[in-house]
Copies of this chain bind each other. A is one copy, B any other.
Amino acid sequence: MKKQKISDAVIHRLPRYYRYLDDLYNKGVVRISSSSLGDKMDITASQIRQDLSCFGEFGQQGYGYNVAELRAEIGHILGIDNGHRLIIIGVGHLGHALLQNFDFEKVGFQVDSAFDVSPALVDTQIRGVTIRPMDQLAEYVARYQPNVAVLTVPQNVAQPLADQLIDLGIRGFWNFTNVELSTEVPGVFFEDVHFVDTLLTLSYRISRG
């Protein structure tokens, strides 16, 4: 596989490729042409070929792509076989929804533990994950070294909490707080989930449509 600098635009399309290929794979589809995949995903076949060419040579003229192989390869590029271990901080309704319904394992993330300030939640379990008190967080992270934290905490604690976790070795943040987090520490990544963006896109489309 070639290694080169990949543009953000391509990186942001990779998860979508993975989702579609995973869906095809689960439906038992063996191969697909770039034009059929493009029709499904509402992008052009040439865009697909160009995106995938960043990572090597996939597919064959007249045959198309082998679904299982391409799914595995894109999964590998996305790092889902890297054994990420995460903790969830904040088990309000959103944290609870993620613990209960989100399939972390399917994309290569093991949920090690969850933390919350509420005494009523501490020591309860959601899908086998024990919720611990916040005052055990630092010790837990120092000891077990998970590499990713999911933040579903109030806005005012988001940045100080992130700073503390970075000091303790957390390298990735899945950030639901709507606060733009930052750090001077190299090799730390934030992915912010902004629900509002898709709602605003919907507003645009129905207003113009």
Contacts and interface: CB of A to CB of B under 8 A. Distances in A.
Interface residues of A, number: 56
How many chain copies? Answer: 2
Main DSSP-derived SS at the A contact region: helix
Given A79-B207, A102-B195, A207-B78, A201 B11 contact: yes
Contact of A198 (B82, B180, B191, B203): B191
Interface in A111-127: none
Given A15-B194, A203-B109, A94 B101 contact: yes
A157 interface: no
Contact of A200 (B78, B192, B200): B78
A36 interface: no
A19 B194 contact: yes
Contact of A204 (B78, B193, B197, B203): B78
The 10 tightest CB contacts between A and B, nearest first, are A79-B207, A93-B97, A15-B200, A15-B197, A191-B202, A94-B97, A189-B205, A172-B206, A79-B203, A191-B198
Interface of A: 9, 11-12, 14-16, 18-19, 23, 77-80, 82, 84, 92-94, 96-98, 100-102, 104, 107-109, 147-148, 171-174, 180, 187, 189, 191-209
